[in-house]
Structure 1
Amino acid sequence: MKDIDSINKIAQICFYCITIILGFLTFRNAKRGLLNPVNTEYHKKVIERLSEVSEELASEFYNDSEKDWFQINDITNAVDRINDFYLENKEEILSKKQFPFCGYPLPELSSHLRTLISRINFDPFIPIKIRDLIIELLENRLEYTESIIVEELDRYCDELAEGLHTELFEYNDGLVQTRVNKRLSELGLDESQVQEAVNDIQIEIHHYFRSFQP
């Protein structure tokens, strides 16, 4: 009789264990079933956002783009503003050999880079590794390009105050731009070098696409 009771108890224990295990497996499968669509939608959004970012970074190197490299890096407006101020105050500037700050505008590049940095830095759909690569490139460009442009425009102002570069006045924007480009090249930030850096980022994006498993 005791043997039968023992067998019944063991059978009940086995039954409860099996029931618990089946319940756990059922819960786990149900949880996976709920999470898979969420994960898939998230990665779809990541892929979509990375495609957009890749296009934004590359747009500077499209000739028909509104953000074409030569357009947003152009310093003609700044040089024209300096030239106009110089002509209006020529006698005073040359007599004092000093050029007062005239409030020249920076190229569109500055606002373009700041906008990109702000949008990308807080984007939850850009993987951290890729985001860090992009932000490093953009912040380096913003810091060095802006400072170099300001320094070269100030240098140009000082040279005008010394009576230099007045023979071919209308071409002085090319002079300043060439100086800026030379210094950017030395820092690895001219057009071809930035394009190469963007290509490297696009390769990382491509690797992410290939490694993604829905």
Structure 2
Amino acid sequence: MIRLYGVARSRATRPLWVLYETGMAFEQIPVVQAYRLADPLAADAPLNTASPEFLAVNAQGLVPALRDGDLVMTESLAISWYLARAYGGDLAPQTPQEEAMALQWAFVGGTAVEDAGLRITKAITADGYEAAMQQPAVQADIAALRRPFALIEAGLEGRDWLLGARFTVADIMLAECVRYAQPAKDLLADYPRLSAWLARAQNRPAFARVMADRAAEPA
């Protein structure tokens, strides 16, 4: 059986979403990030990214990780891609052209959207929306997101999903990167097709299940 290591309050949301879309059985091993614990190596500490048992799975000490038979994977976007290709049916790209575009959108999310979005979310969570919006660093991150967001906006012209009429793993991978920037509501309002696409993706039952998992976990 597939084993997914990680909690929903991590990038494990991406492969979790894929798994819930497929409806397949899997085992989730709730590995907590070590930085969230006062003493991750204490005898009574929960399984975490500094635990020797987990480091034997992923020497980087990062979640998520995946074990499927002899295959071990450690990058959330790659794990999501693999699960869709191996088990996802129509979630996976069906042609070389779809494969190329799905990889493009995954790379856009992972290289041009995620880091800036994370910093924006952290600033808004720590300081509140209005105060965060006054910070030069946040404004710089918002400015940096405008180019990839314009690319996504253009890519969605005349279509509901990134690859056309069909929801795919490309939508999951990119949406879970864009979600980090979602608290910057004024920024997203400038990109109506992107915003509508994100709302459609997040209206799927599988995404709601992932968010329910997150809500059920300790903050």
Q: The TM-score by the shorter chain falls in which range?
A: under 0.3
Structure with larger Rg = 1
TM-score, normalising length: structure 2: 0.26
Question: What's the TM-score, normalizing by structure 1?
Answer: 0.26
Greater share of strand: 2
User: Larger % of helix: which?
Assistant: 1
